[in-house]
A and B are shown apart, each in its own frame.
Chain A
Amino acid sequence: DAGVIQSPRHEVTEMGQEVTLRCKPISGHDYLFWYRQTMMRGLELLIYFNNNVPIDDSGMPEDRFSAKMPNASFSTLKIQPSEPRDSAVYFCASSLAGVNQPQHFGDGTRLSIL
C-alpha cells in the first residue's frame, strides 16, 4: 500500500507565481480531500471530490485557488497568483466511502510564498 502521495514536499516561490500541488490518492478510494494547515487557522478543508467530481468547494478561500481531478488517480490544487498569506502546509487525503469514513493523509506540501 503506497499511501497518498503528494508532490512536491516543499515549494518556495515568489509572490505572483503560479503554484501547482499534486496528489495521487490510494487506488480504489472514491473520495479525495484537500486541506490547508496553518498555525493561526489550524486545519481547514478546502475542497473534496467524489468519483472525480467536486462536491463541496466552499472552503476554497478565493478565486485564486482552483482544484481539479481529471482522473481517479490524480488531483491538482493550483494557486494563481500566489500571495505570502498562502504560505501553509497543504494536505491531500483520500477515503473509501464518504466524508464520515476514515481518511488517509499524505505527508503534505510545505508551501512558502516570498
Chain B
Amino acid sequence: AQSVTQLDSHVSVSEGTPVLLRCNYSSSYSPSLFWYVQHPNKGLQLLLKYTSAATLVKGINGFEAEFKKSETSFHLTKPSAHMSDAAEYFCVVSAPTGANNLFFGTGTRLTVIP
C-alpha cells in the first residue's frame, strides 16, 4: 500500500534562508515521487520527479529533493528562499501500475518573511 505524509502543515522562513519541506512515504513498490507547487488561484505545477535514477533530483526554481530509501523520505530543499517561493507544496507518491496508485500529501504552506 502507498501513502505519503507531509510532516509540517506550515513552514515560515526568512528571505534568503534555506527551505526544508519534509515528506515521508510508504510504498510496497519502487515508487515514483513528485513535488508540486501551487500558487494562489492556480493549478499545481511540477517542481521535480524521482523515478529510481539519481537519488538527488534537481527541479525548477532552484529546488531539489533527495530520495532516502532507508528513511523513506523525500524532503524538498532550497538553499535560499525568495519571496516568490511562498506557496503550497505537495508531495506525491505513485506506484508503477494499477488503479488508485496516486497519493497526494496534505500540503505544506510556505511563508517567506521579507
Contacts and interface: CB of A to CB of B under 8 A. Distances in A.
Given A42-B106, A42-B107, A100 B32 contact: yes
B102 A100 contact: yes
Contact of A102 (B43, B46, B104): B46
B78 to A, nearest CB: 19
B43 A42 contact: no
A43 interface: yes
Interface residues of B, number: 22
A25 interface: no
Interface stretch (A68-76, A79-87, A103-111): A103-111
A40 to B, nearest CB: 11
B105 to A, nearest CB: 8
A107 B43 CA distance: 4
Interface in A38-73: 42-43, 45, 55-56, 58
Contacts of B107: 42-43
Given A42-B106, A100-B95, A4 B43 contact: yes
Interface residues of A, number: 21
Nearest to A105: B43
B42 interface: yes
A110 B42 CA distance: 11
A98 B45 CA distance: 17
A38 B102 CA distance: 18
Interface of A: 4, 42-43, 45, 55-56, 58, 91, 93, 98-108, 110
Closest 9 CB pairs of A and B: A105-B43, A100-B94, A56-B99, A100-B32, A105-B44, A102-B46, A43-B104, A99-B102, A107-B43
Interface of B: 32, 34, 41-46, 49, 51, 90, 94-97, 99-102, 104, 106-107
21 contacts: A4-B43, A42-B106, A43-B44, A43-B104, A45-B104, A56-B99, A58-B99, A93-B44, A99-B101, A99-B102, A100-B94, A100-B97, A100-B102, A102-B49, A103-B46, A104-B46, A105-B43, A105-B44, A107-B43, A108-B41, A108-B43
